[in-house]
A = this chain, B = another copy of it.
């Protein structure tokens, strides 16, 4: 079965966005990149800082409210519809609740050829990259490094701790059918 969707899951500052851009560059066909960041940017500013939406604690914790969850469900449904309509899609995700996050996407992506990829990065290294980026709440990288992978089964895992984004992207591209 042709790969129609590539789902990358990894913690904050694990290097997903860099891999996504490299994948778009190395894959021969055009792929749309849509991720949690795209969705959060599309939400009202008020929801980005409220208990009903998504709130980032000073220590890097992230809490999700019911209105965020409702929009996210519709978003996921829509991304699946784009793939069914013929677009190749790279989903750049953070499964805050681990296996439940993959389950949520699996249900929506039924019938599509999906490549599940875990993007790992040692917590300490990711935390250092978070400082180097300078645009993220410090603490998220460490908090998410392990938890987002809990109980998640992948087709393939890459680790950016000591491997460049472009090299990880090439490894993933070899698994795309």
Contacts and interface: CB of A to CB of B under 8 A. Distances in A.
Nearest to A84: B77
Contacts of A133: 18, 21
A38 B42 contact: yes
A85 B33 CA distance: 21
Contacts of A166: 128-129, 131-132
Contacts of A32: 39, 42-43, 71, 74-75
A166 B160 CA distance: 16
Interface string A64-108: 000100110111011111111111000000000000000000000
A53 B29 CA distance: 12
A62 interface: no
Interface in A17-66: 17-19, 21-22, 24-25, 30-34, 38-39, 41-47, 53
Q: Is the interface of A mostly helix, strand, loop or mixed?
A: helix
Contact of A25 (B24, B45, B129): B45
A82 B70 CA distance: 11
Contacts of A45: 21, 24-25, 134
A152 interface: no
Going nearest first, the 3 A-B pairs with the smallest beta carbon separation are A78-B82, A81-B81, A18-B132
Interface of A: 17-19, 21-22, 24-25, 30-34, 38-39, 41-47, 53, 67, 70-71, 73-75, 77-87, 125, 128-129, 131-134, 162, 164-167
